[in-house]
Every structure is written in structure tokens, then in C-alpha cells.
Structure 1
Amino acid sequence: MKQTFIRIISHQELNVPIFIAGFPSIGDIGRISVKLLIDYLKAELFAELYSPTLPDYVNIDKKGICHPPKFEFFASTKNPNIVVAIGDAQPASEDVPAHYEICDDIINFVIKIGCSKIITASGAPVVQPEKEIYVASTSKNLLRKCIEMGSTPYKGGRIIGAPGLLLGLAEKKGLKGVCVLGSTTSLTADREASFRIYKFIRKLLALDTQN
């Protein structure tokens, strides 16, 4: 494998889908929250991203079969149409070009399939335990909507890795985006914070108002 590539498993008929992404990060909030969303939507796996910039190990499934790290893309044709990406890992933090390469490939892919908006999920480190939901957006209107739903603007900080970089690159290519961050004191899996973010994303997508 010499470069990042996306393998299409099945072709989906999607109408201006919203793109949602979660990857291993602080408290593993991004990955856990979007996994909950995938299960809730009963979304269908339709594409996989592989890259030599991802870590040099394999994951072993419950049957003992080895798989290289990858990003998976799932599609839901409910209203609204949704594409969800979840990743096994991110490139090494010091390999900045690798982050740009993968994130740029992802943005180009979701634009190609018609996405117009992006939501990323991650964790926000705090010293004292709290139950805040923070948001940072490329759009004032989208930020205002999230604040009206009970979140707090994430001011003066940084969003490290794909959850932040995807937003920055998306904005340069005309996509509106928001990162939803759960406050956490944990470096390991914070399932309570992950569930809060999952519920907030459902609310943001107006999924809870549907029958």
C-alpha cells in the first residue's frame, strides 16, 4: 500500500446527506458516540478507507481474523440522509502531513457523494468533573443553533486531529461544520460523556422528533 485509498463496497442513493465523523480521541468520545449513532440508525457499511499513514498493527476480530486499521463509512437513507465515518485509529500525532492527507481525502469523498454539512465528535479535557457539551463551528448560524439547544461555545482552545482538521478543510471547500465535544477528565473510554454527545447529535439532527 503506497497511498491512501477508499474502497467502495456498495453504491448508495443519497440526497444531500449530512456527514458525521468520530475517531479515537480524548475519552474515546468521538468513536463511541458515532458507534451508538450507527447502531441506532441501522446504517449500512458502504465504504472503507485504508492508508499507510495509519498505525502499523492489525486488529483481531472475535473469530481470530486480522484486519489492518481503517476508517469505515456507513449510510442511512432515513430523513435526513446521513453518512457516518468511524475510525480504528488516527495517524501519529507528530505526522502532521498524514493528518492532512487523510482528512483531505475524506472531505473530497464526502463532497463527491453530495454532503453539504459535517458534524465531528470529540472530547474536551477538563480538570474538574462536569457534564458540559461544547461546540465549535465554521458557521455563526449553526453555532447559534447548537447554543440554543443547550451547548456551550468552546472558546480559545484547539481541537486536535481529525475532528478539528476536518472542519477546517471542509470550510475551505464550502461545507458548514460543527464539532461537538464532551467534557471529560478521562484519557480512557468515557462512556457517560459519549452518551451525552450521542444524544445531542440525535437532537441536532432532529431524529428524536421522528416516528
Structure 2
Amino acid sequence: MEQPEDYTAPILIEGLPGVGHVGKLVADHIVDELHGVLITEILSHHFPPQTSIDRDGIMHLPKNEFYWVDGDPPLLLLTGDCQSTSPEGHYILTGHYLDLAAKYGVKRIYTLGGYGVGHLVDLPRVLCSADRPLLLQEAIDAGAVFSPDEPPGGIIGAAGLLICLGSLRGMEGIALLGETSGYLVDPISAQAVLSVLSKLIGLDIDPTRLQETAEELEGALEKLKESEQDREREELSYIG
């Protein structure tokens, strides 16, 4: 088996499951489109106590994965099945992720996620945060938005911890959060995040499959909007 130094990369992109699965959709899309090479699998007792069952009836433990993508620059991607079920586990797992990032030569981290707003969004914004002002401006110049009061309460999970704990190890970082209802897996928001990320790192990637998935979702969203409007009209009919 090839050693970690054979897969050195200056950039780590994290896209673990979260609100709307926004980050995971982006990370998985990059891995698929750019033919990422699986280099590490991570199992942990901090993951949910459940197994998945594939189409052949075989059970599998939850796991997260590091992929390497050959490019200019080369990229590492962290994606997978889940995040920790406990606060302690989040810190422990983030420490392991950063240990691996250091072995692979990572200097900058991009974390991707969703920002749930509790209602349907036609044109999702991509909110940004960073560990230093210059990087924040880079994200804004690439089309992201900084809003001092959003998300309220900060960023929960790997998307926030990787940036802050990575900064303590000398790795700089930017978090990108796509605005999403939080009701559904959201490829529309993922498409917006991918657009900003592509500008930040000069990523040339075909967004067609994400666009097709987004178009399919738009039909479902239209039906959901009509349902919401019908419910509002029914509620108003009981007033007065």
C-alpha cells in the first residue's frame, strides 16, 4: 500500500453529512467527477450505533473516508456516512482528521455545510466564515456572504471545529454554508456552494449532475410550496 506522503495535498475539503446534506453532496460530487482515490477509512465508536444494509442485503458499519484527487493543486476530501453522536466524539474525531491532514501536507481547509433557515429558499446564499480576515475577504470576493448574526449560535460539528482546531496547528481555513430549508437533501444549495468553492481554488468541474438533481428537486419544492400556501389559506379561513 502506498504511504501518506504519496498523496500529499495542500488543501483539505470537508463535506460530512449535516443540514440538507449540502457539504456531502458537494464533496461526493467532486470525488465522482474528478475520480478521487480512496486512501483512508475511519471507523469509530463515536459514530451512531447502527449499520447500513446494501442492496445485496449485506450490513456495513458507518465510516468516513479520505479521498485524494490529482489536480492543480491536488486535493484531499473528507466525506462519509456520519458525524459523532457526542460533543466529546466531535473533538476526538476532529483531532484524528487533523492528524491525517498534517500527514498529507494540508495547509488550508475548506469546510462545507448547510445553514438551515426553516423555510424554502429560491436563491440560496452561501455564508462564510474564516480563521483570519484575509481569508474572509477571499470568500466574499468569490461570491459568499458574511452576515455577523448568521448562523445564530455559530457552527456545530466538524465544519466549525476543523477550522478552529486546525488554526491552532497552523492550518488556515474557510467555512462555506449553503442556505437551505433543512427539510430535504438540497442539491440547489450544494450547487451554490460548489460555485463559490470552485472560484476559491480554481476548480474546473462539471456541475451538470448536480444541476440535474437540483432540477428534479425544484419540481418537488414547487409541490411543497403549493402545500404550504394551501395550509396558510386554510388557517386564514378560520380567522374572523
TM-score range, shorter chain: 0.7 to 0.9
Change (3 A) 1:15 1:102: closer
Give 1:65's aligned residue: 58
On the 8 A contact 2:143/2:196 being kept in 1, the answer is no
Secondary structure of the structure 1 residue equivalent to 2:185: coil
Does 2:102 match 1:111?
A: yes
Contact conserved, 1:125 with 1:183, CA < 8 A, in 2? yes
Tell me which protein shows more helix as a share of its residues: 2
1:91-125 CA distance string (max 9 Å, x none): 12xx2111100001101111111110100100112
Question: What is the letter of the counterpart of residue 93 of structure 2?
Answer: I
Listed as ranges, the matches of 1:54-203 within 5 Å are 54-92=47-85, 95-128=86-119, 129=121, 130-156=123-149, 157=152, 158-203=154-199
Amino acid in the other structure paired with 2:3: H
Runs of 4+ with deviation above 4 angstroms: none
For residues 11 and 163 of structure 2, what CA distance do their matches in structure 1 show?
Answer: 13
d(CA) in 2 for partners of 1:117 and 1:61? Answer: 35
- Secondary structure of 1:153's counterpart equals coil
Counterpart Cα distance in 2 of 1:201 and 1:132? 13
* 2:13 alignment partner in structure 1: 20
Over alpha carbons, which structure has the higher Rg?
2
1:16/1:191 CA distance change after superposition, 3 Å: closer
Using structure 2 for the length normalisation, give the TM-score: 0.78
Q: Gaps spanning 5+ residues in structure 2: where?
A: 206-240
Q: Per-residue deviation at 1:65?
A: 2.0
Q: Whole-Å Cα distance in 1 between the matches of residues 57 and 147 of structure 2?
A: 42
Helix, strand or coil at the partner of 2:110: strand
CA–CA separation in structure 2 for the residues paired with 1:154 and 1:43: 33
Larger RCO (alpha carbons 8 Å, 6+ apart)? 1
Aligned length: 199
Q: Give the whole-Å Cα distance in 1 for the aligned partners of 2:132 and 2:51.
A: 38
Cα distance in 2 for residues equivalent to 1:175 and 1:206: 19
| Partner secondary structure for residue 177 of structure 2 | strand
TM-score in terms of structure 1 length? 0.88
Q: What percent of counterpart residues are identical?
A: 28
Q: Match for 1:185: what amino acid?
A: S
- Is the Cα–Cα contact under 8 Å of residues 20 and 119 in structure 1 kept in the other structure? yes
**Any idea what the Cα deviations from partners look like across 1:159-192, whole Å, max 9, x if unmatched?**
1111111111101111000111100112321111
Alpha-carbon separation, structure 2, partners of 1:71 and 1:168: 21
Does the 8 A contact of 1:36 with 1:198 survive in 2? Answer: no
Counterpart contact for 1:10–1:47, Cα < 8 Å: no
